Every structure is written in structure tokens, then in C-alpha cells.
Structure 1
Amino acid sequence: MENFKDKFRDYLLLEKNYSQHTVTAYINDITFFENFLSCEFDDENLIAVNYNQIRSWIVSLSDDGISNSSINRKISSLKSFYKFLLKTKQIETSPLLKHKALKSPKKIQIPFSEKEVDLVLNQIAYPEGFEGVRDKLIVDMFYTTGIRRTELIHLKTQNIDLSNNTIKVLGKRNKERIIPILTIVSEQIKKYLAERSSLQEVKDEEYFFLLVTGVKLNDSFVYRLINYYFSNVSEKVKKSPHILRHTFATHLLNNGADINSVKELLGHSSLASTQVYTHNSLAELQKVYNNAHPRNKK
């Protein structure tokens, strides 16, 4: 079965253009299921699996305290694997053909208010020199472009075009997109580049954002940075780069931006993904509607 997993890994990487991180997660899920089959049924044959065995795994995961959303993600990995086996004619029917995803509560993402963002960008104090200029630019880049954390971390210096006020980012499934940047952000970029040039050593030259040691950023550093600055102004439970992306989309929609334009800026492949961000703009629309409609004044 190892050979099928290797072929599936190559399929995800080369044909589907999934990231290495996503592919690793898929393979890990399949391996965990394979180990479960070995322990519970004394059988590692993924080809001959039936749905009852998969249901037993789901029950086992639930008994271990795994959330429904995490179980759904693991089953999604299995679904993809069996679709691949169908495509390569290793099986005739997927054992997950009639499976329905477990219900999981929808997480409400509460964006920062315009006032909270303004306080972080214009009121609180940043460190002197390189780190302060970089930190403020990171906050502003998230808020004014809506890019994902991994897109910001892997942003290349050569993909910043100050003459046209745009950046080129590499999104999910290796899809490139061009995002406009505001003039105020361009000015911050110039300031940052001047500070960056004074670093004693730059190891990861191609990457735009660097640590003071000259290497590119990492996930935990960026999360801690956003959490730290917004903890100064916000009581919200979640303060993360993704919430800033959510804030970017919500504020654009609240101020009349077309949802299809927001979809393109975010790099979503379908409008359904963007519609997640519309609940706050609908609340604003409701407020305007209630205040403006003549029938509500009688």
C-alpha cells in the first residue's frame, strides 16, 4: 500500500498543485487510518476497506475527544485518496460514496473595528529602527491587501512593484495574483527597505520580510506579532493574521466594495468562500435600510 500512498502524494503535489504542508496532512491522515485498521481489524489493506470500518474509525476518533470539524478534515483526506484510487482504476466504488459530513458548529469570526485598526496603526508606539518599521508594515500589509499569513511570509522582494503600486503573491495551489497596494503602504515599503539594507547579515535575500537575524519570517512569529499589537487595543478573544484578513474583506464590503472584486483580491476560487465575510456587511446594510426606508419612519 506504501506504493499507492507514494503515487497519491505525487498526484497531489504535481497534478493538484497542493502545498507540501497540505500533502503531508493528507498522507498523515491516511497513515493514521491504516494504523487503525491494523490494530482493530488486523488488516492494513486500504483497497478492500468497507464503510463500517471507516465508521468505526470515526467513532474511535470521537471517543478520543477529536472535534467533528477535525474528523471531517480527516475523512476528507480519505475521500481524496479513494477518488484517486477510482481514477487510477484500483477500486470500482469508493467506500465513502454515501458518507455525510458530521455537523460542526460554525465559527463566528469577529473582525476588528475600524477604530481598533486605526489605533494599532496610528496611536500605539512601535520599537525604533528596523523592527518597528517592519512590524507596522506587516500589520498594514495584512489590513490593506488581505493576504494570507503564508503569502506574506513567502513574499519575494522581486515581486514588489513600487512603480505600479502592486505586489505579486503566490496563493493556494500555486496560483499567482496581483494585488494593488496603497500609496501610503508604498511609502512604508521604501522606509522598510532602507532599514533592511542596514542589517548586518541577510541570509534569505529573496524574501521581503525578515527577522532581525536576516532570515525569513515563520508562522509563529507572525501570529505572535499580530496578537501582541492588537492585544493593546482589542478585547476580542481571537487576534490573528486571519482575523486581519477577515477585517480587510469586511471593511471593504461595509464600504460598498463589489463582492466579486473582494473575491479576486482574496484569491478565492469560488464566491462561496467570499460570502463567509458578508454577514457583517449585511448588518451594516440592515442598519442603513432601517434608517432610510420611509416605511420604518411611520
Structure 2
Amino acid sequence: MNTPSEDFLQYIRFEKRLSHHTLTAYANDLAQFTTFLLAECNVTQPSQADFRHIRSWIVSLVEAEMDKSSVNRKIATLRAYYDFLLRRKVIELDPMIKIQALKMSKRLPVYVEEKPMEMLLNDVEFADTFEGVRDKLVLELLYGTGIRLSELTSLKTVDVNLYGKTIQVLGKRNKHRIIPLTEPLFALIQRYTQLKEEEFKGQADPAILIVSDKGIAVYPVLIQRIVKRNLTLVTTLEKKSPHVLRHSFATHLLNRGADLNAIKDLLGHSSLAATQIYTHTSLEQLKKTYDQAHPKAKK
């Protein structure tokens, strides 16, 4: 017989169909909470915990100087877990009612300026080989469409619409969205597809769009290496990740007058609130331009 925690994990895996990454995070959070309950509260199962136990765990995480965003993710895990138990009538009262997420300081998105991105994609030479074109395609897709790392690694060959010149992306909460491709990006996909066939002669999985040097589905660490290695050529930013290219995509669109709602749809955000952070970045850019150019600006 399964424990309530095991039933919950099966529920989010098979019914909610959350990503493997999210499932792993939920499982780790519940395992850590279970360990804390047993060691500090003599409680064997999270389903038996009350408000005081949960608050004690959160306090211990804060005192251990865990990042606030990580603590809030664990709070979100418990909120989903106890909501599941309530609906299954395993518990009668929700112990999370009085628990609030930690207040976060707003951090502006890190992004690459337009000129360095133009230099990387237009001036840096990539070899006309499978690996060279694959690496450039990774950068062009991340910057040219704003997709997430997980969305890139899960792209299928059939997701590319040859006639409409679009890609279909499976985003968070299993929602699909359609993103248009520029002519150069579409041509790059065609060239990559040709080189992939020549490189692996049909041995690579034809269903997977982006593959590794061995012809298997590309993995996140490889994408991160490709991005970091190439961004190092054009920027001194400390953070050089696929998400930086997503931020750059959104920021550059907004700076050039794109509608915020359109950017929201392209990014796959569920609400406009998540997209509005880019307006702060745009405002900072305006202030910077003003300070540099206006004769009355403070020196």
C-alpha cells in the first residue's frame, strides 16, 4: 500500500503530467521534509504534520541561509501536496493556510545587449559541419524564439512547420504555443537537418530535432556548455545561461516597441504579471540613454 506521499507523486506524474524536472524537485522536497519531521518532531509522515511542524521546517531552512526562491519552491511543493490530501480526504484541515511565501526582492533579468548578440550571430564564424551548425542553431533558437531550455531539449522534428515556417513548443502546464521563425533561422534548421542526416546516416533518432554528437537527444548540460562557451566570446556578463538568451529575446523585442501581450504569448507566460518585469529592464535602458545623452543629466 502506498503512502500519501507516493500517491501524490504518482498523481502529479500520471494525471498532472508535470515534467521530469518538476517531479524530481517535488520528490526531493518531500523527502527532505520527511527527514526533518522524523529527526526534529518525531513525526513519521508529512501527512501527519501540522502548521507548527511546517513553520519549524521553514525557519530551519531560512536559518541555514537557503536561497529564498528555493524555500518558496519547497513551500509551493507542500501547498500542492496538502491540497491533494484535502481533495482525497486524507486530512480534514489544511496546515498551509497560515503559511506565506517569503518576500522576494525584485531582480531585473540579466540580458545581453543587442550589438554583442548581433556580433555573435552575424560575425562569429561557425564551421559548416554538423557540430558547428548545431551549436549555432541552439543559439539562434534560444535567442530567436525565446524558448526555455527544457522546451528546446524536447523539440521534435514534427514541431517544425515547413510550410508555415513556425515551431510548435510544449511549455509549462503542457500548453502548446506557436512561434514564427525568421527566414534565416528556418534556413538554418534546413541546413542542420541535412548535415544531421549526412553525419549519422539515419542512425540518429529522426523524431528528435536537436541531437548530441552521438546522435541521441540533446541534454541540458550540453546546451548550457554551448551557450556559455559562445557568450564568452562577446560579453563579460557573469551569468551566461540559456535563460539569459530568453531574457535578451524579450528585452530586445520590448525595446523595439513590441506589444507586451504579444511578448507574453511568445514566452508562454500564463499571466501578464510575469512578463511585466521586462518593462523595468526597458525603463533602466531609457534611464541609461538619458544619462548618457541629455545635457542636463547628472554626470
Deviations along 1:219-260, one digit per CA (max 9) or x if unpaired, are 010011011101011011111110100110111111111111
Offset from partner CA, 1:102-136 (integer Å, 9 cap, x none): 23333332210110101110112223411111111
Question: Which residue pairs with 1:203 in the alignment?
Answer: 204
2:176 maps to which residue?
176
Give 1:31's aligned residue: 31
Alpha carbons of structure 1 residues 289 and 231: separation in structure 2 relative to 1, 3 Å = closer
Alignment match, 1:71: 71
- 1:284 offset after TM fit, Å? 4.5
Query: What is residue 228 of structure 1 aligned with on the other side?
Result: 229
Matched residues in 2 for 1:283 and 1:148: separation?
24
**Structure 1 residue 209 displacement after superposition:** 1.0
- The residue that corresponds to 1:11 in the other structure is 11
Q: Percent identity?
A: 43
Q: Does 1:240 align with 2:236?
A: no
1:208-223 equivalences in 2 (<5 Å):
208-223=209-224
How many residue pairs get aligned? The number is 295
Distance 2:28 2:288 in 1: 47
1:149 and 1:219 in contact (8 A); partners too = yes
Q: Deviations over 1:44-103 (max 9, x none)?
A: 133332222122212322343322221121121111111111122222221121112223
Flag the 1:185–1:37 CA change in 2: closer, same or farther, 3 A: same
In structure 2, distance between residues paired with 1:283 and 1:65: 30
Matching of residue 85 in structure 1 with residue 85 in structure 2: yes
Match of 1:102 in 2: 102
Which 10-residue stretch deviates more, 163-172 or 47-56?
47-56
Q: Specify whether residues 258 and 290 from structure 1 end up closer, same or farther in structure 2 by C-alpha distance, changes over 3 A only.
A: farther
State the match for 2:268 in structure 1: 267
Which position in structure 1 is the counterpart of 2:115?
Answer: 115
Deviation at 1:287, TM superposition (A): 7.3
The answer to whether the Cα contact below 8 Å between 1:199 and 1:212 also exists between their aligned partners in 2 is: no
The separation in 1 between residues aligned to 2:105 and 2:111, in whole angstroms, is 18
> Residues of 2 paired with 1:69 and 1:287: CA distance?
29
Per the alignment, residue 51 of structure 2 pairs with 51
* Aligned-pair CA distance for 1:216: 1.6
Q: Deviations over 1:194-234 (max 9, x none)?
A: 21111135332211111221112110100110111010110
Within 2, Cα distance between the matches of 1:220 and 1:126?
20
Distance in 2 (alpha carbons) for counterparts of 1:139 and 1:80: 35
SS of match in other structure, 1:198: helix
Any conservation in 1 of the 2:5–2:46 contact (CA below 8 Å)? no
Q: Tell me, in whole angstroms, the C-alpha distance in 1 between the residues paired with 2:34 and 2:191.
A: 53
Instruction: Indicate how the Cα distance of structure 1 residues 234 and 289 shifts in structure 2: closer, same or farther if over 3 A, else same.
Output: closer
Deviation, structure 1 residue 142: 1.1
Compute the displacement of 1:6 (Å). 2.4
Query: What 5-or-longer segments of structure 2 have no aligned partner?
Result: none
8 Å CA contact 1:254–1:280 kept in 2: the answer is no
Alpha-carbon deviation of 1:11?
Answer: 2.4
Gaps of at least 5 residues in structure 1 are: none
The one-letter code of the counterpart of 1:187 is A
C-alpha distance after superposition, 1:7-45 (max 9, x if no partner)? 212322344332122122112211211121111122213
**Contact 1:51-1:95 at 8 Å conserved across structures:** yes
CA RMSD of aligned residues (A): 2.4
In structure 2, C-alpha distance between the alignment counterparts of 1:61 and 1:288, rounded to whole Å: 42
Q: Deviations over 1:133-163 (max 9, x none)?
A: 1111111111111111111111111111122
Partner-residue secondary structure (3-state), 2:102: coil
Distance, in Å, in 1 between the alignment partners of 2:23 and 2:221 is: 21
Which residue pairs with 1:21 in the alignment?
A: 21
Match of 2:154 in 1: 154
Tell me the TM-score normalised to structure 2 length.
0.91
Q: Deviations over 1:250-273 (max 9, x none)?
A: 111111111111111111111111
TM-score by length of structure 1 reads: 0.91
Preserved CA contact (<8 Å) 2:130 2:192: yes
The one-letter code matched in structure 2 to 1:94 is D
